[in-house]
Amino acid sequence: MTTTQNLLAAGTTSGIGGYSVGWLTLSLINAGLAQGKGRSGWNWWLVSLLLGPLATLLIVLRPRLDAEH
């Protein structure tokens, strides 16, 4: 069996593919969080692709934008 077949047989696909799926999922969640705080989901999605969990922390710590601005 090859390494890929072993991983699939074991029920796991950990490795670079697993991390990239998680990173992409987190970036989409961050975009939704940012929109909920009145910020640009598109911009925060791009930032999240680069910073990952650090972007989540920044979004959570930054205050909500007022509707007036």
- pLDDT tens figures, 9-61: 555 555 677 788 999 999 999 999 999 999 999 999 999 999 999 999 999 99
Alpha-helical (H) ranges within 1-69 are 3-10, 16-36, 41-51, 53-61
Phi, psi of 31, rounded to the nearest 5 degrees: -60, -40
pTM: 0.71
- For residues 66 and 3, the model is more confident at 66
- For residues 37 and 66, the model is more confident at 37
